[in-house]
Amino acid sequence: MHDSILPVETYLRSKKKDFKVQEHHHPSSARVAIGDKIVCGVGGCLRAQYWNWMGVEPTNPINLNGLHNVTIGHAYEDWYEEGLKILGKEYQREVAFKADIGLKYQMSGRIDFLVKEDNGWEGVELKTSYGRGMDYYKKTKKPKESYLLQMLCYFEYLEKPIKVFHNPVFARDNFYRTTFKIEKGKTEYTFKQIVASWRELEGFLERKELPPRDFNDKDYQCRYCAYKNKCNKEVRK
Ligand code: SF4
């Protein structure tokens, strides 16, 4: 019998990137620690970053659901680009950068879009979400803190001086849409705090010392962590 789902899943699996050992600090793994409060996205936990840098293969790599999510995110970027073309906007897509941030290792990243507006270039970071993730936006009317940190990294090191970032968010389940504007210098966290966390990570790497857990099993960071099984084993040792 013809498996009608197979072509889609074959395509998505072909998009899956092989595990790559981290060689630069990435904005997506930006982390801030203020007292007991730790803010970072999935993959930003010190321990998860440590294993990645040390070349440890994830015990819980991205699955087919995750691949669907990533690919829908890319489709959303395609729609955005088509819209920019229709509007006749000058823009750049997937703008890569690498920067010396005063640490042993550099920071590198890729910005979804830079768009030329009347007052100069502005950044765009698109995100998709669903369910409870979307409820967070509706309730707080704020961008997710992990994405905010990501954009703080971009502000600092782009060749074009960017003062504003836009963060459109699209719900994959009910198509709810919203957008946030982030202005340089008007955020709760600073790039300096991010660098301090990466400095701490470099210390653990230098000493080959496993960092403590940033989160516990109930936190969403652990539920989606690529090292969940490995980390839980360490706890039980
Ligand atoms: S399971 Fe949680 S504490 Fe452990 S590495 Fe992953 S995010 Fe960090």
Q: What is the pLDDT of residues 153-189, one digit of tens each?
A: 998 766 677 889 999 999 988 889 999 999 998 999 9
Report the distance separating Cα 94 and Cα 111, nearest Å. Answer: 5
* pLDDT-based confidence at residue 63 (cuts at 50, 70, 90): confident
Distance 77 CA to ligand 1 centre (A): 29
Q: Give the residue whose CA is nearest to atom 4 of ligand 1.
A: 231
CA geometry: angle at 79 spanning 7 and 24, to 5°?
Answer: 80
* pLDDT-based confidence at residue 67 (cuts at 50, 70, 90): confident
Task: List, for residues 104-151, the tens digit of each pLDDT value.
Answer: 999 999 999 999 999 899 999 999 988 888 888 989 999 999 999 999
- Given a cut of 90, is residue 236 above it in pLDDT? no
Give which of 199, 198, 205, 200 is closest to 54, Cα–Cα: 205
Kindly give the number of the ligand 1 atom that is closest to the alpha carbon of 213.
Answer: 3
- In this prediction the pTM is 0.90
Give which of 143, 117, 115 is closest to 129, Cα–Cα: 143
Task: List, for residues 141-156, the tens digit of each pLDDT value.
Answer: 999 999 999 999 998 7
Kindly give the number of the ligand 1 atom that is closest to the alpha carbon of 219.
Answer: 2
CB 149 within 8 A of CB 109: no
Kindly give the number of the ligand 1 atom that is closest to the alpha carbon of 221.
Answer: 7
Domain 30-236 part of CATH 3.40.50.300 = no
Summary mean pLDDT of the chain: 90
73-105 in b/e form (b: 16+ CB < 10 A) is beebbeebbeebeeeeeebebebebebebeeeb
Distance 216 CA to ligand 1 centre (A): 7
Distance 43 CA to ligand 1 centre (A): 8
pLDDT of residue 20: 85
CB 166 within 8 A of CB 181: yes
Distance 217 CA to ligand 1 centre (A): 8
CA within 13 Å, CB half, 38: 20
pLDDT of residue 75: 92
Distance 235 CA to ligand 1 centre (A): 10
96 sits in which H/E element: strand 91-99
Provide the residue ranges of all domains of the chain, joining segments of one domain with +.
30-236
Q: Give the residue whose CA is nearest to atom 2 of ligand 1.
A: 222
Ligand 1 contacts (CB < 6 A) are: 45, 47-48, 213-215, 221-222, 225, 227-228, 231
